[in-house]
Amino acid sequence: MQNSPHAARLALALVTPAAIVAAASLLAAMTVSVGGCTKEESMPTGSVVGRPQVEATLQGTVSQYAKGGPLGAARGQDELSARTLASTAGLIAGIGGAGHGARGSDDSLDALFGGSGAAAAAGAIGGLCPPDMASIDDRFCVDRYEASLVEVMADGSEQPFSPYESVKGHVVRAVSERGVYPQGYISEVQAIQACSLSGKRLCKAKEWRQACMGPEHTTWGYGQKHEAGRCNDHGRSPMTALYANENLSKREKWDWERMNRPELNQFEGTLAHTGDHDDCTNGYGVYDMVGNLHEWVDDPNGTFQGGYYQDTTLNGDGCHYVTMAHEARYHDYSTGFRCCSDVAP
């Protein structure tokens, strides 16, 4: 593969294990306050990844990438994110004693990639952003598609993770891929961890809105006026389908357990594959930012944006849709996310 003109501008952005644990612990310690939903005093969170587990997990992931293992073979080595490789290399270098938070070096990359070093990793970038991300005016990168997950096993191998299951107790990382069901049933805390393990971060609220509105800065991304069906925004109610014989007007029927049933997003007319709605995009080349799943953004108090397959207007229209009624550990069938990252300097 030929190096791009920007190849030398690869960012070795690092997220240390300590930072992952600290961020997750801080959010997990917050008092539960779920406005508009049944209060849950013991809401499950994703497993906080300890230092030894992070080291083994990331080393295994790099090994898979470097040798074009099952994940690379399935998706094509050219599709792998060099940013993930470089970030992971830096993480491992930090764990090994180079200092947490220090930038990765060519030497650390050489050791991990068989002497190819940073230049070879940079060659996969293809511009200011990795191939699975869109450049937003060369200011930051955003995933082209809503996130799906892969589970990282103890030996470093990876396998697909069900988009209908809770991630509690699993080590997962975010993937931006077309033609798959995106991950619902995930909290902001868990999304932060999943982005971090892919060398990315959760989008800031302003970043998310800018990416959604596109270069023309329009309410729906594709334009100023809503076009029914252009995005996945007129789906059926899975709660009504699953609990058809119950009185759902009662608040207690909308509890934590019921709203996280795996069956909910599997009803016809609910969740759609990423990119299925070809016209639900904008000039940046991002898809499904309106509808399909709510998308968490980086807010310690808990915020998701963009609406989902049943509603894109209740809390604002399209890209202005914002929900702040749930704390960062909340999740249900409608909550998803996508990752952002800084551009190469």
Domain boundaries, the chain: 7-205
- The Cα–Cα gap between 131 and 274 comes to 16
Closest by CA position to 223, among listed 290, 161, 126, 171? 290
Does the global pTM surpass 0.85?
no
* pLDDT computed for residue 248 by the predictor: 86
Q: Across all residues in the chain, what is the average pLDDT?
A: 74
Closest by CA position to 297, among listed 223, 198, 189? 189
* pLDDT computed for residue 313 by the predictor: 96
Closest by CA position to 162, among listed 264, 289, 306, 36? 264
Which of the residues in the chain have pLDDT under 70? 1-127
* pLDDT computed for residue 146 by the predictor: 98
Write the pLDDT tens digit of every residue in 35-50.
334 333 334 333 344 4
- The Cα–Cα gap between 74 and 148 comes to 15
* pLDDT computed for residue 250 by the predictor: 84
* pLDDT computed for residue 247 by the predictor: 86
Write the pLDDT tens digit of every residue in 173-205.
999 999 999 999 999 999 999 999 999 999 999
- φ and ψ of 201, to 5 deg: -145, 165
* pLDDT computed for residue 128 by the predictor: 83
* pLDDT computed for residue 344 by the predictor: 78
* pLDDT computed for residue 83 by the predictor: 41
